[in-house]
Each structure stands twice: as structure tokens, then as C-alpha cells.
């Protein structure tokens, strides 16, 4: 509806005015674009495309460069931009197109002389960077990240003087940074991380006076830190972790207008104290100096920087008391990691002035005294491996308690379970292990069973029963109450822990039947019942066997008895897999994320080392990390009898089988020869008869074995591994023959006086592989980190290190 229409003169003028304006705009928009793609540019692009094995119908290419063709204007092609005036191609971005080839020196790419943006990231490019790249003199952005480029960076890169952004990270480039880099004075972002660059950084970084971000982590740069870097006024972000820089950190003259926000020098070899001039970085937010050799007292001046949010000084040699100085209430500090240093004394109460502090890691120091009550306000609190002995006053802060991850392990705590922990209703990870807590485990645990994911009470003096509080523990992944004085039966409510992956109750006084009912826990990987008073049979005809996901079971040193039906192991599907580790990268598997082939429990993207104990012949061993392909059965030192079930041969992934010290009789199953990954086999001290299956001789990984104290007869298999054994592995089998070669060969020289106390009498000289491993871990103490060495070799956990002669030296305290 048009309101009253009055045609006034001025109205017409206005209308005409708009008419002309409109047609002008229309004309401009519709006018033919002068700037169709130029033929030479189009041809260069098509030639470039054909330099690579591009499959045009493969969707990986089609949406990108596959559709480039002559029937359309090249300026309309995907991943291309042209200059609207000249029609020159100015941008080519083909990130993540699998080019799978080298970039040739005469590539048609270099005919695109007007390119400003060139992105060839994640294109599977290999070979060297051709020097002709220096021809693209208009480049402002060059991104070659995530390829497999090798060799030196050509000096001609210094010709690209318009460059503002350059990323060469995540390649395999090597050698020195060409000095011509110093001519790239317009650079504001330079990323060289994760290559093999070596020697020193550019001597005069200060010429890059526009630089804001500089990343060169994960290379082999050496030398002292170039102070010229700190003189670049625009610099905000420096990441130089994982290089070989050394010496003291010289900040030079820090300007108070420094804009530095992030400084990471982690994993280098810097030393010396932190100079107090660091406090002049008034805009610093994140500082990571971890894993260097910095020493001296706590760098108090650092904490005067109000903008500082995250500080990591872990893994250095700082010592003395922690001195926070005068803390301003406007400090932004929220994450502080001082772990793995030599700080001593108490934690100063003044820590309560850091009102934003959420994550605090003080583990592995020499701190002592009370845990200040204030710390219960953290979200993450790690105080492991210190000498803390008690808790400060808590009452006020407990209402605000929000701890999710609490690690108090390996301290000097004693007395009853700290009931205040029961107030922590969001607790997800609790580790109280290796203290002297005593008394009963309280019912109030149920206050956090809903949230708890990992509960470790190992190696304390807890007594009484394990309370039946797990009804709601549906998030519990690992429960370790081993090495306490617990008794009675396993709580039936554990059946509700549907996410349970690890259950370790070893070294207590539990007196119960075998918990067959746990067989329904579909994720249970590791079950350790060792050294308790469990009794009865493992097999009941009317109960399904379950335990499909089991990888490690240790029921040794109990009072179990009974026989196994021949099919017993056929249900253990997980052990029937042969697990291959990916030596290169992490690998996800059944709820575990595997980092460098160690099994880590990953929950909510935080990782926790899993652990378990296994004992062998009286030696307690703790596996701090369980390698994912560690598959083991230990039924030793019980009273099992009857035949060893033939179905054992189905467990193709098995590496360790210990059935010693039982009453197994009849023949050794021939199917054992199918266990091609088997590395250790102990059948000693049973009543086995018949021959040792000759096919066992072909098991090439089987390096440790013991058949002694049985009624075996016939020849010893001829395999190399058998020939390497000690005589004692076969002793006390009167009808076994072929021992001459073995026993004759390993003539043991007279022990030196030092050794003699450790060298055991032949009868006692039993296979003791875990003990052997222990002895080769330098500087360990009680709760041994044997996993570290034991599993650090990619494919075998018994290496030359544990060869016979050496292991003999460390056999101790057996039987
Ligand atoms: C090209 O890709 C298509 C679709 O992925 C595939 O079917 C075809 O085999 C591939 N051709 C060649 C030669 O690799
Ligand atoms: C050629 O390019 C046009 C426009 O991108 C596209 O629609 C067409 O499918 C392409 N032809 C071929 C054979 O790829
Ligand atoms: C080049 O890339 C930068 C950053 O992504 C962008 O700002 C700029 O507009 C691009 N220039 C061209 C010509 O595509
Ligand atoms: C590119 O190489 C990768 C691995 O090198 C391979 O998986 C892929 O099939 C190759 N793609 C083409 C198109 O050749
Ligand atoms: C580039 O050089 C190679 C030999 O190095 C040659 O085979 C190829 O034809 C040349 N390509 C162009 C586009 O000139
Ligand atoms: C590089 O530029 C020079 C001069 O502009 C030219 O002669 C040469 O052919 C170019 N190189 C390549 C590989 O395009
Ligand atoms: C490019 O760099 C090389 C090596 O640094 C130099 O010899 C050459 O003159 C430069 N070319 C141009 C056009 O600047
Ligand atoms: C840097 O550029 C200047 C002038 O453009 C030139 O003289 C000098 O050789 C270049 N330096 C390097 C290292 O390429
Ligand atoms: C457990 O939670 C209840 C209910 O919130 C609370 O009253 C009780 O004090 C808690 N127990 C302990 C020991 O903190
Ligand atoms: C389990 O949770 C329910 C509902 O939240 C609660 O009523 C019950 O008391 C809890 N049981 C235990 C043993 O914590
Ligand atoms: C197993 O041991 C228990 C005592 O722990 C005994 O009562 C039972 O008879 C034994 N069973 C067998 C089959 O030996
Ligand atoms: C070993 O495994 C093969 C195939 O998996 C099977 O045919 C054979 O019977 C097994 N040998 C024994 C002795 O169980």
C-alpha cells in the first residue's frame, strides 16, 4: 500500500537521482570482469596438478584440485584466488590434498609469480624444498607444515622479503637456518618446530623486528640463548622447547614495554639461577622452564608478575624453601608446577593469597610438615613423593572443596583415613599409596563413589574389611588396595563397576572364593589376587567363565585348588589376540590410550599411569606402567591339580605363563607350541610327566623357562633357546636326557667374593625374571618402577640385559 501520492518536483528529482545511482551500481556490478584467469596462469596450474599422481575421481582430490579443468575460468576453481584487477593467481591453498610427490625445481608452481599465499600443508610432500621457491617474490604467507620435506632450507628463501607468515614445522628439514632469513624483516610469525635443524639460531634475530610468534621447538638448536631475541619489542610468543640450548638464561635488557606473553624453554639444558630481571616481563602469562638444569633458590621475583597464569618449573634443580614473597591479591596465577625439584621445608601459608590457583603440583620434592588447609580448594593437587605428615586446619575451606585429582602418595602420613576426603564429592582420582595410613577404610567413601575413577590405597596399613560401598561406583576404572591388611570377602557391590579395568587386591588377608562373578565385568583387563587366602576352585561347572577382556591374571600364592576343564581358557578372547604395538605413535585400544607403548588410563583426556603388582618367588614388584601387549597368567603356588588345559594354546598373545608350585600332572599340552609370543614359561615343581613337547624348541622368544622338579622324561628339545638355559631349569627330572650339552656348557667360574653371597645353590637357582629386571633399574627403592626398563624395549621385555649370567647375580631371598 502506497500512501497518498503527491508528485512534487523535488520528489521527481530525488527519484531520478536514485534511478541513476542505481543503474550506475548495476552497471558496475554487471560490467564484464576484465580479469578472467590468464591463460598462462591456467596452464601453469594444470601443469602443476599433473606433476602429482592425482586421481580425479578420488574424493580426496575431487573437491580440491580434481575438478580443475579448462572448461571453466581458473579464477573460479576451488582453492584458487585471483587478483580482481590483473587476473593473476594470488592465492593457492591446497591443504591436506595428498600430493604424494616431490616439489620439482622446474615445477610450474614457480610460474605463478604473483602468488601471495601458498599453503601446501599436510600434502605428503617429500624431497627437498627447491631453491626456485625464491622466485615467488610476492609471497606474504607460506605454509608447508606437516610434510616430509628434507634437506636444507634454500638460501633463496631470503628473497621472499614480503613474507609475513612462514611455517616449516613438522617436516624433516635439517642443517642450519640460512643467514638470509635475517632479510625477512616483515615476518610476524615464524614456525620451524619439529624438524632436525641444528647449530645456532640466527645470530641476529633482532633484525626480525616485526616478529610476534616464534616457534622452533623440537629441533637440535644449540648454544646459549640469543638475548637478541628478547630485544624484539613485538615478540609475544616464544616456543623453543626440546632443543639443546644450554648455559644460563641471559635476558639482556628487558624493556618494560616487552609484550612477551608466552615463553617455553622446556626440555633444554639451561642452567643457572633465574635472574630476577625476569620480573620485568610485565605481560608474561605462561612460563615453562621445565626439564632443564636451572638451580638456585625459588625465583620469588617471578611471582610478582601479575599477569602470570601458568608457571612450570618442574624437573630442575631448584632447592631450599619455597618463598612466595609478597603475594598480591590480584595475582592471576592458576597453575603452578614445582614438581621434581629439591624444595624443602613446609608449604608457606601465604599460598592462600593466590586466589585463582587451581592446579598445584609439588610432587617429588622434600617438602614436609602440614598440608595447608587452603590447598583443599585446588582442583588438582599433587603432593606425591614428599615427606608431608599431617593436614592443616580444614574446616573453613571444606565447603569450597572441589578437588578432582588428589595425589598424596609416598609421603609420611599416618593414622586413620582422613575423613575430610569424604567431603570431596567431585573426586575422580585419589592416590594415598605408600603411606602408613591405618585403621579401617571408612564407609564414607560412598560420598564420592559416583565420581571416582581411580582409587589407589596400595601399601598402607589399612585393616578390616573393604566396605561394600561400590554400588554407585559406575565410573571406577581402577581399584588398587594391594599390600594392606584387609580381610574378609571382596565386596559384592564391585559387580556394579562396569568400567573396571584394573582390580588389584594383592598382599592382603582376603579369605574368599574365586570371584567368578567379576567375569561379567566386560572391561576387566587386569585382575590381581596374589598373596591372599583365596580358596576353592577357579572353575565352577554352572558359572559361565567370563573374563573376556582379561590380559593379566595373577592368583598366585593363595589356597586355590581344583582342576580345570580342557576348554577353560577358550573364553579369554582378549588373550587370544596377538597385540602388535605401533612403535611410532600413540595408539588407542579399549579405553586405554597408549602413549609410547605404555598403557595409560586416559579419562577425560587426562592420563594416569596404571600400575599393578606381581610377585615372583617372594619378590614384590610393582609395574608402574603396564605395556599394552603384556599378557600374563600366574597361577603359581596354589594347589591346582589335574591336566593343564589344552585350551591354553589358544591364548596366542601370552607372554608369561607361570604354573609352578602346584600339583599339575600328566603331559605338558602340545598346544603350548602354538604360543609363539611366549617369553617366559615356568612349569617347575609340579607332577608333570611325559616328554617336553619337542615343538617348544621353535618358540624363538621363549628365553626363560623352568621345567625342574617334575617327572618329565625323554629328550630336551633342541631349539637354541633350550640350549641357552641353565642346567637347573631341568633338574630333578630323573628320566630327562640330553642335559649333558647344557650342563656341560655353562661352566660357571668360581664366583668372586662379592658375588658369592648372591650366587645361590643350584637347588635354589630358580628362574626369577622379575627379580632380574629389578636389579637392573638404577636407584630404585621399594616400590619399584620396573616397568620402565622392563617394557622400554619395543618388542621384547627380556633383553640381553637379563641374560642368564647376570640374572644369577640378583636372585635373592627366594622361597
Ligand atoms: C581413483 O579413485 C577411485 C575412487 O576412490 C577409485 O575407485 C579408483 O580405483 C582410483 N583409481 C586409481 C587408478 O587409483
Ligand atoms: C570442470 O569444472 C567445472 C567447474 O568447476 C565442473 O562443474 C566440472 O564438473 C568439471 N569437469 C570435470 C570433467 O571435472
Ligand atoms: C592470505 O592469507 C591471509 C591469512 O590467512 C589472509 O589474511 C589474506 O587475505 C590472504 N590473502 C590472499 C590474497 O588470499
Ligand atoms: C599417498 O601416500 C599414502 C602413504 O604414503 C598412501 O596411503 C596413499 O594411498 C597415497 N595416495 C595416492 C593418491 O597415491
Ligand atoms: C622438469 O625437469 C624434469 C627433469 O628434472 C623433466 O623430466 C621435466 O620434463 C621437467 N618439467 C618441466 C615442466 O619442464
Ligand atoms: C625464476 O625466475 C627467473 C627470473 O624471473 C626465471 O628466469 C626462472 O625461469 C624462474 N624459475 C622458475 C623455476 O620458474
Ligand atoms: C635470490 O636469492 C639468491 C640466493 O640468496 C640470490 O643469489 C639471487 O640473486 C636472489 N634473486 C633475486 C631475484 O633476488
Ligand atoms: C639481504 O638483503 C640485502 C639487500 O636487499 C642484500 O644486500 C643482502 O645480501 C641480503 N642478505 C642476505 C643474507 O641474503
Ligand atoms: C558424606 O556426605 C554426607 C551428606 O552430604 C555428609 O553429611 C557427611 O558429612 C559426609 N561424610 C563425611 C565423612 O564427610
Ligand atoms: C547410591 O545412589 C543412590 C541414589 O543417588 C543413593 O540413594 C544410595 O544411597 C547410594 N548408595 C550408596 C551405597 O552410596
Ligand atoms: C579344596 O580345598 C578346600 C579347602 O580349602 C577343601 O575343602 C576342598 O575339599 C578342596 N577341594 C578339592 C577338590 O581338593
Ligand atoms: C595350533 O594351531 C593350529 C591353528 O591355529 C591348529 O590347527 C593346531 O591344532 C594347534 N596345535 C595344537 C597342538 O593345538
Query: Do 351 and 324 contact (CB within 8 A), yes or no?
Result: yes
Distance from the alpha carbon of residue 157 to the mean position of ligand 8, in angstroms: 11
**What one-character-per-residue DSSP string does 467-529 give?**
-S--TT-TT--EEE--SSEEEEPPPGGGGG-TT--EEE--SSEE--B--GGGGG-TT--EEE-
| Nearest ligand, CA 181 | 8
Would you state the pLDDT for residue 627? 54
CA dihedral 509, 510, 511, 512 (to 10 degrees): -170
110 within ligand 6 shell (Cβ under 6 A): yes
Q: Which atom of ligand 3 is nearest to the CA of 140?
A: 1
Instruction: Say how far residue 532 (Cα) sits from the centre of its chain.
Output: 33
Highest mean pLDDT (candidates 15-24, 389-398, 430-439, 613-622): 430-439
| Nearest ligand, CA 66 | 2
Instruction: Say how far residue 537 (Cα) sits from the centre of its chain.
Output: 39
C-alpha cell at 78: 576451488
Would you state the pLDDT for residue 461? 97
Distance CA(178)–CA(181), nearest Å, equals 6
Q: Give nearest CA residue, ligand 12 atom 1.
A: 674
Distance CA(573)–CA(517), nearest Å, equals 17
Q: Which residue has the higher pLDDT, 641 or 719?
A: 641
Would you state the pLDDT for residue 608? 41
* Predicted model pTM: 0.79
C-alpha cell at 497: 563397576
473 within ligand 10 shell (Cβ under 6 A): no
Residue 101, pLDDT > 60, answer yes
CA distances from 710 to 43, 645, 647 (A): 82, 18, 22
Would you state the pLDDT for residue 16? 45
Distance CA(650)–CA(629), nearest Å, equals 16
Distance CA(791)–CA(775), nearest Å, equals 15
Strands (E), 707-748: 711-715, 735-737
Highest mean pLDDT (candidates 424-428, 435-439, 676-680): 435-439
Query: Do 376 and 352 contact (CB within 8 A), yes or no?
Result: no
Residue 612, pLDDT > 70, answer no
Dihedral sign, CA of 617, 621, 623, 627?
negative
**What one-character-per-residue DSSP string does 198-220 give?**
EEPPPTTGGG-TT--EEE--SSE
CA distances from 247 to 33, 58, 74, 176, 299 (A): 61, 53, 55, 21, 17
711 within ligand 12 shell (Cβ under 6 A): no
Query: Do 693 and 672 contact (CB within 8 A), yes or no?
Result: yes
Residue 446, pLDDT > 60, answer yes
* 3-state SS, residue 61: helix
239 within ligand 6 shell (Cβ under 6 A): no
**What is the DSSP-derived secondary structure letter of residue 154?**
P
Query: Do 36 and 75 contact (CB within 8 A), yes or no?
Result: yes
Query: Do 705 and 728 contact (CB within 8 A), yes or no?
Result: no
The b/e string for 237-254 (b: 16+ C-beta within 10 A; e otherwise) is bbbbbbbebbeebebeeb
Q: What angle do CA 30, 32, 38 make, to 5 degrees?
A: 145
Query: Do 494 and 469 contact (CB within 8 A), yes or no?
Result: no
Q: What angle do CA 719, 720, 725 make, to 5 degrees?
A: 100
Q: Which of 646, 649, 652, 668 to mutate to test the pocket of ligand 12 (most atoms within 8 A of CB)?
A: 649
Would you state the pLDDT for residue 34? 46
Distance CA(335)–CA(316), nearest Å, equals 17
63 within ligand 2 shell (Cβ under 6 A): no
**What is the DSSP-derived secondary structure letter of residue 644?**
P
| Nearest ligand, CA 423 | 9
Q: Which of 643, 650, 667, 674 to mutate to test the pocket of ligand 12 (most atoms within 8 A of CB)?
A: 674
* 560-601 pLDDT per residue, tens: 999 998 888 887 777 776 665 544 433 333 233 333 333 334
Q: Count the neighbouring beta carbons within 10 Å of the beta carbon of residue 675.
A: 23
Query: Do 463 and 439 contact (CB within 8 A), yes or no?
Result: yes
* Residue 35 banded pLDDT, cuts 50, 70, 90: low
Q: Give nearest CA residue, ligand 3 atom 14.
A: 91
Partners of 616 in beta bridges: 619
Residue 486, pLDDT > 80, answer yes
Ligand 7, CB within 6 Å, residue ranges: 134, 155-156, 158-159, 180
Residue 285 falls in which region: left (phi positive, over 0), alpha (psi -120 to 50) or beta: alpha
127 within ligand 8 shell (Cβ under 6 A): no
Domains and CATH numbers, the chain: 501-798 (3.80.10)
Q: Give nearest CA residue, ligand 1 atom 13.
A: 55
* 447-469 pLDDT per residue, tens: 999 999 999 999 999 999 999 99
Please write down the long-range contacts of 396-402, taking CB distance under 8 Å and 24 or more positions apart.
397/373, 398/423, 400/376, 401/376, 401/377, 402/377, 402/378, 402/426
Distance CA(723)–CA(164), nearest Å, equals 67
Length of the chain: 815
Q: Which of 514, 533, 535 to mutate to test the pocket of ligand 11 (most atoms within 8 A of CB)?
A: 535
Distance CA(250)–CA(241), nearest Å, equals 16
Nearest residue to 521 via CA among 503, 544, 495: 495
Would you state the pLDDT for residue 579? 60
Q: Which atom of ligand 10 is nearest to the CA of 449?
A: 14
Arithmetic mean of pLDDT, 58-80: 81
Q: Count the neighbouring beta carbons within 10 Å of the beta carbon of residue 410.
A: 23
Distance from the alpha carbon of residue 92 to the mean position of ligand 2, in angstroms: 18
Would you state the pLDDT for residue 679? 87
The pLDDT mean for the chain works out to 80
Q: Dmax over Cα atoms in the chain, in whole Å?
A: 129
Q: Which residue has the higher pLDDT, 93 or 56?
A: 93
Residue 150 falls in which region: left (phi positive, over 0), alpha (psi -120 to 50) or beta: beta
Partners of 632 in beta bridges: 552, 656
Q: Which atom of ligand 9 is nearest to the CA of 423?
A: 14
Would you state the pLDDT for residue 431? 93
CA dihedral 231, 235, 236, 237 (to 10 degrees): -100
Would you state the pLDDT for residue 542? 74
**What is the DSSP-derived secondary structure letter of residue 130?**
P
Distance CA(159)–CA(552), nearest Å, equals 61
Arithmetic mean of pLDDT, 752-756: 38
CA distances from 604 to 320, 524, 601, 611, 670 (A): 35, 19, 10, 19, 45
The number of CA neighbours under 13 Å toward the Cβ of 77 is: 33
Residue 4, pLDDT > 70, answer no
* 234-290 pLDDT per residue, tens: 999 999 999 999 999 988 778 888 899 999 999 999 999 999 999 999 999 999 999
Ligand 9, CB within 6 Å, residue ranges: 419, 422-423, 444, 447
C-alpha cell at 132: 626456485
Q: Which residue has the higher pLDDT, 185 or 203?
A: 185
Distance CA(550)–CA(637), nearest Å, equals 21
* 328-365 pLDDT per residue, tens: 888 999 999 999 999 999 999 999 999 999 999 999 99
Dihedral sign, CA of 640, 646, 649, 651?
negative
C-alpha cell at 800: 640381553
Q: Give nearest CA residue, ligand 3 atom 9.
A: 117
Query: Do 688 and 696 contact (CB within 8 A), yes or no?
Result: no
Residue 105, pLDDT > 80, answer yes
CA distances from 624 to 614, 788, 790, 792 (A): 11, 7, 10, 12
* 280-314 pLDDT per residue, tens: 999 999 999 999 999 999 999 999 999 999 999 99
Q: Which of 133, 137, 159 to mutate to test the pocket of ligand 7 (most atoms within 8 A of CB)?
A: 159
Instruction: Report the percentage of the chain scoring pLDDT > 90.
Output: 55
Strands (E), 265-341: 269-272, 286-288, 293-296, 310-312, 317-321, 335-337
Amino acid at each position: 500500500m502506497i500512501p497518498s501520492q503527491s508528485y512534487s518536483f523535488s520528489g521527481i528529482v530525488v527519484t531520478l537521482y536514485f534511478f541513476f545511482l542505481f543503474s550506475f551500481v548495476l552497471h558496475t556490478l554487471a560490467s564484464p570482469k576484465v580479469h578472467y584467469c590468464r591463460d598462462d596462469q591456467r596452464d601453469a596450474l594444470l601443469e602443476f596438478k599433473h606433476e602429482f599422481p592425482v586421481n580425479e575421481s578420488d574424493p580426496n582430490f575431487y573437491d580440491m584440485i580434481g575438478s580443475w579443468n579448462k572448461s571453466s575460468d581458473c579464477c573460479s576453481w576451488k582453492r584458487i584466488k585471483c587478483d580482481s584487477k590483473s587476473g593473476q593467481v594470488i592465492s593457492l591453498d591446497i591443504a591436506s590434498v595428498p600430493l604424494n610427490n616431490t616439489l620439482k625445481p622446474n615445477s610450474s608452481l614457480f610460474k605463478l609469480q604473483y602468488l601471495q599465499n601458498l599453503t601446501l600443508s599436510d600434502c605428503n610432500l617429500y624431497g627437498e624444498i627447491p631453491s626456485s621457491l625464491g622466485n615467488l617474490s610476492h609471497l606474504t604467507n607460506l605454509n608447508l607444515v606437516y610434510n616430509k620435506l628434507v634437506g636444507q632450507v634454500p638460501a633463496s628463501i631470503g628473497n621472499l622479503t614480503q613474507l609475513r607468515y612462514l611455517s616449516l614445522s613438522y617436516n624433516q628439514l635439517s642443517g642450519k637456518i640460512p643467514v638470509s632469513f635475517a632479510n625477512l624483516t616483515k615476518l610476524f610469525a615464524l614456525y620451524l618446530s619439529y624438524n632436525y635443524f641444528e647449530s645456532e639460531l640466527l645470530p641476529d634475530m633482532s633484525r626480525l623486528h616485526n616478529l610476534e610468534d616464534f616457534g622452533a621447538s623440537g629441533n637440535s638448536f644449540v648454544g646459549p640463548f640469543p638475548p637478541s631475541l628478547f630485544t624484539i619489542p613485538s615478540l609475544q610468543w616464544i616456543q623453543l622447547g626440546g632443543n639443546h640450548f644450554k648455559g644460563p638464561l641471559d635476558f639482556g635488557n628487558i624493556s618494560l614495554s616487552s609484550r612477551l606473553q608466552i615463553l617455553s624453554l622446556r626440555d633444554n639444558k639451561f642452567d643457572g639461577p633465574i635472574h630476577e630481571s625476569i620480573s620485568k616481563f610485565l605481560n608474561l602469562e605462561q612460563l615453562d622452564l621445565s626439564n632443564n638444569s636451572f638451580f638456585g633458590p625459588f625465583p620469588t621475583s617471578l611471582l610478582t608478575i601479575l599477569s602470570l597464569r601458568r608457571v612450570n618449573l618442574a624437573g630442575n634443580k631448584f632447592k631450599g624453601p619455597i618463598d612466595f614473597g609478597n603475594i598480591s591479591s590480584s595475582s592471576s596465577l592458576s597453575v603452578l608446577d614445582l614438581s621434581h625439584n629439591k624444595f624443602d621445608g613446609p608449604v608457606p601459608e601465604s599460598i592462600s593469597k593466590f586466589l585463582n590457583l587451581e592446579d598445584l603440583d609439588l610432587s617429588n620434592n622434600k617438602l614436609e610438615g602440614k598440608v595447608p588447609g587452603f590447598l583443599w580448594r585446588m582442583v588438582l593437587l599433587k603432593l606425591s613423593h614428599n615427606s608431608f605428615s599431617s593436614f592443616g586446619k580444614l574446616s573453613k575451606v571444606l565447603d569450597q572443596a572441589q578437588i578432582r585429582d588428589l595425589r598424596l602418595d609416598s609421603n609420611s602420613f599416618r593414622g586413620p583415613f582422613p575423613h575430610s576426603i569424604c567431603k570431596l564429592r567431585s573426586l575422580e582420582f585419589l592416590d594415598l599409596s605408600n603411606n602408613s595410613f591405618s585403621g579401617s577404610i571408612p564407609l564414607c567413601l560412598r560420598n564420592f563413589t559416583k565420581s571416582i575413577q581411580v582409587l589407589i590405597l596400595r601399601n598402607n596399613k589399612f585393616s578390616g574389611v573393604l566396605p561394600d560401598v561400590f554400588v554407585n561406583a559406575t565410573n571406577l576404572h581402577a581399584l588398587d588396595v594391594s599390600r594392606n591388611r584387609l580381610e574378609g570377602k571382596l565386596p559384592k557391590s564391585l559387580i556394579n563397576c562396569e568400567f573396571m579395568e584394573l582390580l588389584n587386591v594383592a598382599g592382603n588377608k582376603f579369605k574368599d572364593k574365586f570371584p567368578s562373578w567379576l567375569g561379567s565385568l566386560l572391561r576387566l583387563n587386569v585382575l590381581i589376587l596374589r598373596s591372599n587366602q583365596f580358596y576353592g576352585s577357579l572353575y565352577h561347572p554352572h558359572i559361565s567363565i567370563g573374563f573376556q577382556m582379561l590380559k593379566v591374571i595373577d592368583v598366585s600364592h593363595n589356597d586355590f585348588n581344583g582342576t580345570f576343564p580342557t576348554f577353560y581358557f577358550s573364553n579369554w578372547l582378549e588373550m587370544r589376540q596377538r597385540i602388535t604395538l605401533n612403535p611410532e605413535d600413540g595408539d588407542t585400544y579399549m579405553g586405554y590410550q597408549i602413549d609410547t607403548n605404555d598403557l595409560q588410563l586416559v579419562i577425560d583426556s587426562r592420563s594416569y599411569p596404571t600400575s599393578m603388582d606381581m610377585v615372583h618367588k617372594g619378590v614384590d614388584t610393582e609395574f608402574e606402567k603396564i605395556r599394552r601387549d603384556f599378557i600374563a597368567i600366574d597361577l603359581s603356588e596354589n594347589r591346582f591339580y589335574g591336566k593343564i588345559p589344552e585350551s591354553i594354546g589358544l591364548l596366542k598373545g601370552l607372554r608369561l605363563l607361570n604354573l609352578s608350585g602346584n600339583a599339575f600332572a600328566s603331559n605338558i599340552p602340545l598346544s603350548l607350541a602354538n604360543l609363539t609370543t611366549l617369553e617366559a614359561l615356568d612349569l617347575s615343581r609340579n607332577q608333570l610327566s611325559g616328554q617336553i613337547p619337542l615343538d617348544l624348541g621353535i618358540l624363538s622368544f621363549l628365553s626363560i623357562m623352568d621345567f625342574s622338579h617334575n617327572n618329565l622324561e625323554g629328550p630336551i628339545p633342541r631349539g637354541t633357546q633350550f640350549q641357552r638355559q641353565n642346567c637347573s631349569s631341568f633338574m630333578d627330572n630323573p628320566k630327562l636326557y640330553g642335559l649333558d650339552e647344557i650342563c656341560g656348557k655353562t661352566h660357571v667360574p668360581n664366583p668372586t667374593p662379592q658375588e658369592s653371597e648372591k650366587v645361590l645353590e643350584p637347588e635354589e637357582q630358580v628362574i626369577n625374571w622379575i627379580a632380574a629386571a629389578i636389579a637392573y633399574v638404577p636407584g630404585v627403592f621399594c616400590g619399584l618402577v620396573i616397568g620402565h626398563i622392563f617394557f622400554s624395549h619395543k618388542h621384547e621385555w627380556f633383553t640381553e640385559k637379563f641374560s642368564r649370567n647376570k640374572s644369577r647375580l640378583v636372585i635373592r631371598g627366594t622361597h
